[in-house]
Amino acid sequence: MNTIFERDLEAKGFIDEPIDPTIDIVTEIQQLKKEKNAVILAHYYQESEIQDIADYIGDSLGLSQQAAKTDADIIVFAGVHFMAETAKILSPSKKVLLPDLKAGCSLSDSCPPHLFAKFKEQYPDHMVITYVNCTAELKALSDIVCTSSNAVQIVESLPKEQKIIFGPDRNLGEYVKKKTGRDLVLWNGACMVHEIFSQDKIVDLRAQFPHAKFIAHPECEDHILAQADYIGSTSGMLKFTIEDNAQQYIVATESGILHQMQKASPMKTFIPAPPNNICACNDCPHMKLNTLEKLYNCLYYELPEVDLPMDIVERAKKPIERMLEISEKLGL
């Protein structure tokens, strides 16, 4: 990096060029997308205005499936860094852009690859299943990747006697252990957003809304999941609220998903599960780094780009493809 422009990008993680205030940014993004044959993939935790402009909105599994099959030249990933890396691994010839390179993930950060490699050495006869919320380097150390919507099935796809290391999310790992009855060796990582829910406040809220169902993401802690009427990935939770006949839901996950829930079921009420006193809300500070302005600049300048060394792409691709094959076979 040598120009002032590039140095600025390196320091901030996004293009900070002023945008002409007279333009309609949404129309401009649509236009740029067409001109450049670009596709915008957005996670459910993105700001509503980003979700509304996306070509595809989904959970981690759906986003990986889209990234693998798109014929666009450019993928703009409105999500976090590990998601953009996964898209690059699945479509290495495509340009993958992330509106803000600093959109990381506390769960991914809780598992540094060099420490995980040492951990893995202690269990030479174990297979490694990693949750997709991790770096490309960690995926390269794995046998199979999974997401929250297929973790149980991925574990069950292996013979009963197969010993397994599961990482980096200990909460999802505990949930999978319970559902499958398998004894997994867990890495001790967690997501900062899903560990903030207050059990006492949820109990109080349920007393206030006795007809509301409580739904939770499996990244939540065990004592929170124990209270849930439904546990699932973001797309699983969304589907549940569409098909279920309750009228009110208390939702224990990042609050971005409420936008799609409300859109799909406008007559129902969705209440974010209350966090503890330390946190003001259930927003993921990483996911929420992306803005419509950063997305516009990213598409306009085709920067910042997420790139990976070819050997990591090759090694990380196998466990992700294995997950996609199993998911396809199971119709997930």
Annotated binding site for iminosuccinate: 43, 60, 131-133, 148, 217-219, 234
Count the alpha carbons within 13 Å of 219 in the hemisphere toward its beta carbon.
27
Pick 33 or 58: Cβ nearer ligand 13P:
58
Q: Say how many C-beta atoms besides its own lie within 10 A of residue 66's C-beta.
A: 20
Q: Give 150 or 180: the residue with its C-beta nearer to ligand 13P.
A: 150
Consecutive H or E run containing 25:
helix 25-36
CB nearer to ligand 13P: give 128 or 231.
231
Does 180 bind ligand 13P (CB under 6 A)? Our answer is no
> Which one-letter amino acid corresponds to residue 17?
E
106 binds ligand SF4 (CB under 6 A): yes
Q: Which stretch binds ligand SF4 (CB under 6 A): 30-38, 103-111, 206-214, 323-331?
A: 103-111
Write out the two tokens for 107. 């769960």
DSSP three-state, residue 267: coil
List the single partner that 106 binds among ligand 13P, ligand SF4, none, CB under 5 to 8 Å by kind: ligand SF4
Q: CA torsion, points 282, 187, 62, 53, in degrees to nearest 10?
A: 30
- By a kind-dependent CB cut-off of 5 to 8 A, residue 255 interacts, out of ligand 13P, ligand SF4, none, with none
Q: How far is the CB of 80 from ligand SF4 (least distance, A)?
A: 5
Question: Cβ 98 to ligand 13P, closest distance in Å?
Answer: 14
Task: Identify what 286 binds: ligand SF4, ligand 13P, none; CB under 5 to 8 Å per kind.
Answer: ligand SF4
Q: How many Cβ atoms sit within 10 Å of the Cβ of residue 47?
A: 18
> How are beta strands 126-131 and 95-97 bridged, if at all?
unpaired
Please, are residues 84 and 306 in contact by the beta-carbon 8 Å criterion? Answer: yes
Binding residues for [4Fe-4S] cluster: 105, 191, 284
Taking the complex as a whole, how short is the minimal distance between the CB of residue 6 and ligand 13P, in angstroms? 29
Nearer to ligand SF4, 32 or 225 (CB): 225
Binding to ligand SF4, residues 182-241 (CB under 6 A)? 191-193
* Angle made by CA atoms 194, 143, 191, in degrees to the nearest 5: 10
Residues 37-56: x where in contact with ligand 13P by CB under 6 A, - otherwise, as a string: -------x------------
Write the DSSP string, 182-245.
---EE--B--TTTT-B-HHHHHHHHHHSTT-EEEE-TTS-HHHHTT-SEE--HHHHHHHHHHS-
**Number of residues counted as binding ligand 13P (CB under 6 A):** 11
Q: Which candidate, 12, 10, 25, places its Cα nearest to that of 299? A: 25
- If the CB atoms of residues 82 and 157 are measured against ligand SF4, the closer one turns out to be 82
Residue 100 touching ligand SF4 (CB under 6 A): no
Instruction: Give the x-and-dash track for 183-202 against ligand 13P (CB under 6 A).
Output: --------x-----------
Q: Pick out residues in 94-153 that bind ligand 13P (CB under 6 A).
A: 133, 147-148
In the complex, the smallest distance separating the C-beta of residue 323 from ligand SF4, rounded to whole angstroms, is: 17
Strands of 56-58's sheet, edge to edge? 56-58, 38-43, 74-78, 95-97
Q: Are 66 and 103 in contact (CB under 8 A)?
A: no
In b/e form, how buried is each residue of 306-327, taking b as 16+ CB within 10 angstroms?
A: bebeeebbebbbbbbbbbbebb
Residues lying near ligand SF4 in the complex (CB under 6 A) are found at 45, 80, 105-107, 133, 191-193, 254, 284, 286-287
Residues lying near ligand 13P in the complex (CB under 6 A) are found at 44, 59-60, 133, 147-148, 191, 217, 219, 233-234
